[in-house]
Amino acid sequence: MTRSAILTRRTLLAGIAASATLPSALAGMSLEAEARAPQAPLPLPTAHRFKLGQFEVTTVSDGGITAPNPHSIFGINAPAEEVEVVFQQNFLPFDRLRNSFTPVVINTGSEVILFDTGNGARRRPDAGNLLANLKAAGISPDQVDIVVLTHFHGDHIGGLMEDGAPAFPNARYVVGRREYDFWTSPEAASGPTAGGAELVKANVVPLREKVTFLEGNQDVVSGVTAMEAFGHTPGHLVFHVESDGARLMLTADTANHYAASLQRPDWHVSFDMDKEMGAATRRRVFDMVAAERIPFIGYHMPFPSVGHVEKTDQGFRYVPATYQFHL
């Protein structure tokens, strides 16, 4: 027998002997593990920055919410069983969902433009983090030159005011004419839109003297162009961004969920005020995004909310961005 075989045999016999005494050695001892470092949740990322031509783009988290019963929001014109299948295929639970809020900052080199302002610190306990997260990303509110509002739902205009004063004191505001006219009308002030109209009255109307109205196909600044995307609200806008040939779409709330809204764009969404128009707009906007291979930022996509879509038989497949903007 070789020396290595002897050593191996001795090691094996020693291990057997040690294991025989293990139960008595552990008698009376607690088997509960005690790690040297206590378990502690890590904070989620709050900002993501990349270059687009000569522009610098930063997505900033305003937080997120967890809601029950996805079928009460997505696919309300489809059987629950069909909606559940899509969630299962995407490894998602069907008893709850997570939705994030992602304003966008574009620094053109001449102007700092903020698209949407989040919920506001007092509207939701788990959102309203925009101002803190902007500062953490190195952007102070007084550096914002232009605030663009894609539409007037509360999770987009809730952060316009802070303690009764404009949260972005040096900014001017760019909003859609059609959206403003609807939310300040007598029609909006009654019925299911009354609460939204009250928030518009409190947060948007006081800024009227600094508001510039625009229609589809008009520029916010050179390289940032509005496009009509009605349905989610009467004047909902999306924005095409281009610098040095690099392109990006800010799709706002055209799609509110990366699986349910994109894989089944014809499914109705409870938040869409005109559900048929919202579905048709989803098809139109993402047909273009897919066909022209334009990256996009969706306000409710999983943070950092940047990705692409690929056309499928029934809708679109969402492909999150990885390293392509950082090469």
The pLDDT assigned to 109 comes to: 98
Average of pLDDT values for 71-84? 98
- Residue 188 Cα distances to 11, 240, 252, angstroms: 82, 29, 21
Banded model confidence at residue 20, pLDDT cuts 50, 70, 90:
very low
Gap between the Cα atoms of 245 and 255, Å rounded: 25
Q: Which amino acid is at 86?
A: V
User: 188-220, pLDDT tens digit by residue?
Assistant: 999 999 999 999 999 999 999 999 999 999 999
Average of pLDDT values for 62-78? 97
Q: Which of 215, 176, 179 is nearest to 197 (CA)?
A: 179
Bridge partners for 96 per DSSP: 68
Banded model confidence at residue 31, pLDDT cuts 50, 70, 90:
low
pTM here is 0.89
- Residue 289 Cα distances to 258, 280, 298, 303, 310, angstroms: 14, 14, 12, 19, 9
Mean pLDDT score across all residues of the chain:
92
The pLDDT assigned to 33 comes to: 62
**Could you tell me the sign of the dihedral formed by the alpha carbons of 150, 151, 154, 160, in that order?**
positive
Average of pLDDT values for 81-89? 98
Answer yes or no: is pLDDT of 21 > 90: no
The pLDDT assigned to 37 comes to: 87
User: 115-130, pLDDT tens digit by residue?
Assistant: 999 999 877 778 999 9
Answer yes or no: is pLDDT of 24 > 60: no
Average of pLDDT values for 4-32? 49
44-48, 139-143, 223-227: which range is least confident on average?
A: 44-48
User: 239-293, pLDDT tens digit by residue?
Assistant: 999 999 999 999 999 999 999 999 999 999 999 999 999 999 999 999 999 999 9
Banded model confidence at residue 3, pLDDT cuts 50, 70, 90:
very low
The one-character DSSP state at 241 is E
31-40, 45-54, 131-140, 222-231: which range is least confident on average?
A: 31-40
CATH value of 47-326 in 3.40.630.30, 1.10.8.50, 3.60.15.10, 3.90.850.10: 3.60.15.10
Q: Which of 150, 151, 142 is nearest to 171 (CA)?
A: 142
